[in-house]
């Protein structure tokens, strides 16, 4: 029987490793070639330029050093004279690079050790790359695993043949795991990390709750029911807004299930976390009425410009609407994206009366009117001097107690006031040295531009470098500019400056 060569052993080893670990053979051949180069550098030094070639059929490896052909040698590690070079290749000329084979017998043992290390590293890295490719496509999906190890900061979980990690902060409050415990979690992120678990799990994220609904409610998985938004205080309470594109499907009933079996199963997995399921509506007033359960509001007043909602309740529903330590209001605010104020009817009346008086006083002062006239204007829907300046005379004259003469006087005063303010603001803007490009940005009024200039924000670049909430704060809050409008201004400025 013919004795196997070292090369044939190499071929067999590569075939076995490639099959067992689902790794391409070319990757392993490259690893062996790298091992030979590293082993040779142990003897010749890292300043020697080398290359190894492993025959893909025989497994034989040859090692070469790359030398530059010169007429006179100054560095023997990197150069070869022309006479010697022509013995290797008669067509070579000065300035060419040539490969000179190096006998590997003197350092076979070193190479074998290095080859083993490199192949092991290659296998590990290849597995990590495969792992990343598989799991980064599954972000947001549920996986089942078992606890492998526990430390004060994280839990290592086996999912199939892969190690995943779950930060303690991504577990539910008061949740404890033991070695071997079964774990259901959501893939929150996948990092490219060759030394640590790459798959990051969470039981605390909104994604996990959404995945549980898709697992338990076929209509959610099939897309018949859409989970519009989720607000959650993990382990305690959650609100889930759902909608159906099919009028024949009751989204809330489907999610609850017969006798509540579906939602109960989800709550059990979440260690008793209470879940309110609400039918979503684009009508914010109706949506808030539904979502503030278990309370029953007597009135809901929405301000879309300020993204705020006043919810009026009676004494009996006040604590239910607010919830324990404000939990119900917090969840409702996150669910809707609006600021929620819960109040009694008497509080709203007091607030409305105070606001009415402030607006009436401001208009009376600006137009030099009796206070009662200012109140009549506000009660008739004219809450801003600009509204009065732009109103038709007939519209103003139709207000009870007014006539065309009074209407003309009030309108003219409003126009004069607006013109005076515009002139004053133009002067301020010039003195502040605002960049001309700033005037091209939409939404920003002259009053806003003055405020920006006074805060040393004078160019489009200055605005582009702000966050939207910073712009809102500088301009005086959401009563002046909404978060959405501020975001639009910032994005337009960034597109103007940075092209993004």
Query: Which of 30-39, 118-127, 291-300, 318-327 has the weakest average pLDDT?
Result: 118-127
Angle at 367 between CA 363 and CA 369, to 5 degrees: 85
**Which H or E run includes 243?**
strand 237-244
Q: What is the mean pLDDT of residues 258-271?
A: 95
Sorted by where each starts, the structural domains of the chain and their CATH numbers stand as 6-130 (3.30.1480.10), 139-204 (2.40.50.140), 282-383 (3.30.300.20), 433-500 (1.10.150)
Local confidence band at 4 (pLDDT 50, 70, 90 cut-offs): low
The per-residue pLDDT for range 69-116, each reduced to its tens digit, is 888 888 888 888 888 888 888 888 988 998 888 876 555 565 666 666
Q: Which residue has the higher pLDDT, 22 or 381?
A: 381
Angle at 55 between CA 51 and CA 61, to 5 degrees: 50
User: Beta 182-190 vs 199-202: how paired, if at all?
Assistant: antiparallel
388: left (phi over 0), alpha (psi -120 to 50) or beta: alpha
Closest Cα to residue 70, out of 86, 54, 53, 51?
Answer: 86
Q: What is the mean pLDDT of residues 169-175?
A: 91
Asked if residues 165 and 155 have their Cβ atoms less than 8 Å apart, the reply is yes
Query: Which of 177-181, 191-195, 357-361 has the weakest average pLDDT?
Result: 191-195
CA gap 271, 45 in Å, rounded: 62
In this prediction, residue 1 carries a pLDDT of 45
Q: What's this model's pTM, rounded to 2 decimal places?
A: 0.65
Residues 6+ apart with CB under 8 A from 37: 50, 51, 52, 63
CA gap 234, 28 in Å, rounded: 47
CB hemisphere CA count around 87 (13 angstroms):
6
In this prediction, residue 111 carries a pLDDT of 61
The per-residue pLDDT for range 206-239, each reduced to its tens digit, is 999 999 999 999 999 988 999 999 999 999 999 9
Instruction: Compute the radius of gyration of the chain from its Cα atoms.
Output: 37
* pLDDT exceeds cutoff 90 at 452: yes
The two three-digit tokens of residue 80, written as one number: 């070869």
Closest Cα to residue 166, out of 155, 175, 176?
Answer: 155
Local confidence band at 164 (pLDDT 50, 70, 90 cut-offs): very high
The per-residue pLDDT for range 352-362, each reduced to its tens digit, is 899 999 999 99
């Amino acid at each position: 029987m013919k004795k196997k060569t070292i090369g044939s052993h190499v071929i067999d080893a590569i075939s076995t490793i490639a099959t067992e670990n689902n790794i391409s053979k070319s990757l392993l051949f490259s690893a062996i070639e790298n091992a030979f180069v590293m082993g040779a550098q142990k003897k010749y030094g890292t300043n020697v330029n080398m290359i190894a070639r492993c025959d893909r059929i025989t497994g034989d490896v040859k090692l070469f050093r790359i030398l530059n052909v010169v007429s006179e040698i100054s560095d023997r590690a990197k150069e070869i004279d022309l006479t010697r070079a022509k013995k290797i290749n008669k067509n070579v000329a000065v300035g060419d690079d040539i490969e000179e084979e190096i006998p590997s017998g003197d350092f076979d043992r070193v190479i074998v050790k290095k080859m083993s290390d490199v192949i092991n590293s290659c296998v590990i890295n290849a597995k990590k790359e495969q792992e990343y490719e598989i799991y980064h496509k599954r972000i947001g999906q549920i996986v089942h695993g078992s606890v492998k190890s526990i430390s004060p900061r994280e839990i290592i979980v086996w999912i199939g043949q892969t190690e995943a990690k779950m930060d303690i902060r991504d577990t539910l409050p008061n949740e404890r795991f033991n070695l071997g415990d079964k774990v259901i979690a959501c893939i929150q992120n996948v990092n490219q990390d060759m030394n640590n678990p790459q798959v990051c799990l969470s039981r605390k994220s909104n994604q996990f709750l959404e995945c549980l609904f898709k697992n338990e409610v076929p209509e959610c998985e099939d897309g018949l029911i859409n989970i519009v938004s989720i607000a959650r205080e993990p382990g305690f309470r959650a609100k889930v807004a759902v909608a159906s594109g099919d009028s024949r499907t009751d989204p809330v009933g489907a999610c609850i299930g017969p006798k509540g079996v579906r939602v109960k199963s989800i709550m059990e997995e979440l260690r008793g976390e209470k879940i309110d399921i609400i039918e979503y509506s684009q009508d914010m007033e109706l949506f808030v009425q539904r979502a503030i359960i278990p309370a029953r509001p007597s009135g809901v007043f929405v301000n879309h410009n300020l993204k705020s909602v006043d919810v009026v309740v009676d004494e009996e529903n006040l604590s239910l609407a607010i919830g324990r330590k404000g939990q119900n209001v917090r969840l409702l605010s996150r669910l809707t994206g609006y600021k929620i104020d819960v109040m009694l009817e008497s509080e709203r009346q007091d607030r409305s009366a105070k606001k009415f008086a402030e607006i009436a006083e401001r208009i009376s002062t600006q137009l030099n009117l009796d206070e009662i006239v200012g109140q009549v204007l506000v009660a008739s829907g004219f809450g801003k001097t600009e509204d009065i300046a732009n109103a038709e005379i007939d519209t103003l004259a139709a207000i009870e107690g007014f006539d065309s003469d009074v209407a003309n006087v009030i309108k003219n005063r409003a126009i004069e006031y607006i013109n005076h303010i515009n002139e004053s603001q133009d002067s301020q803007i010039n003195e502040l040295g605002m960049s001309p490009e700033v005037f091209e940005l939409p939404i920003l009024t002259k009053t806003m531009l003055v405020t920006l200039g006074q805060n040393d924000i004078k160019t489009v670049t200055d605005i582009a470098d702000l966050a939207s909430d910073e712009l809102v704060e500088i301009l005086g809050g959401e009563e002046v500019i909404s978060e959405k409008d501020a975001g639009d201004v910032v994005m337009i400025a960034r597109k103007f400056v940075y092209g993004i």
